[in-house]
Amino acid sequence: LPYASVAAKIGKGPRSLLILWRKDSIGDLHWVSADAATLVTRQGRVVKTAGFPENLRDTRFLVSDPVASGLHTLVDRRATSRTMDLDLGNNYGLIVECEFRVEGEREIEITEIVFQTILVREQCSASTLNWLFTNLYWVDPTDGFVWRSRQHIARSFPPVVIETLKPAGI
């Protein structure tokens, strides 16, 4: 494909192709599917969605986000917190406490291309909803680019697995 693109899959659902629609003024990348489902990513983390049964309306970081600052430099556990706005049940300002830890080197394959990566686990808790979840990031060991991730964007359905097919060149 000549366009920046990612593949996304929720649970046992079909794999969908999303094309880069736009980059906004703060650097967020807006990826759109053929059925108008949209993922907005910031340095590899999903920060907003549209067109899903439950949507992540916004994400705000209370401290710097380790995903954006480079997971490849993480050497020890690191705690962080953020707020999420989920439209189902009007859960706005939901506080999410997380801890990152490096799982080690992993080899992954995306569209028949093998990548050497570092797997980083993000264990999260949103205590007001009694919601525990784990996000996974497979990052490039030289620059922290997120090649694959498994991220929870809502409580009501399984995590989304995102693979970068063609990185955004912007």
What's the pLDDT tens digit per position in 71-100?
999 888 899 999 999 998 889 999 999 999
Give the span between the Cα atoms of 33 and 39, in whole angstroms: 9
- Mean pLDDT across 19-23: 95
Give the span between the Cα atoms of 137 and 146, in whole angstroms: 6
Residue linked to tokens 């300002």: 93
> What pTM, to 2 d.p., does this model score?
0.94
Token pair for residue 35? 């059925």
Distances (CA, A) of 80 to 56, 62, 124: 19, 8, 9
pLDDT band at 16 (very low <50, low <70, confident <90, very high): very high
Give the span between the Cα atoms of 54 and 163, in whole angstroms: 21
Q: What is the pLDDT of residue 170?
A: 52
CA 139 centroid distance within chain: 12
Q: Please, are residues 150 and 8 in contact by the beta-carbon 8 Å criterion?
A: no
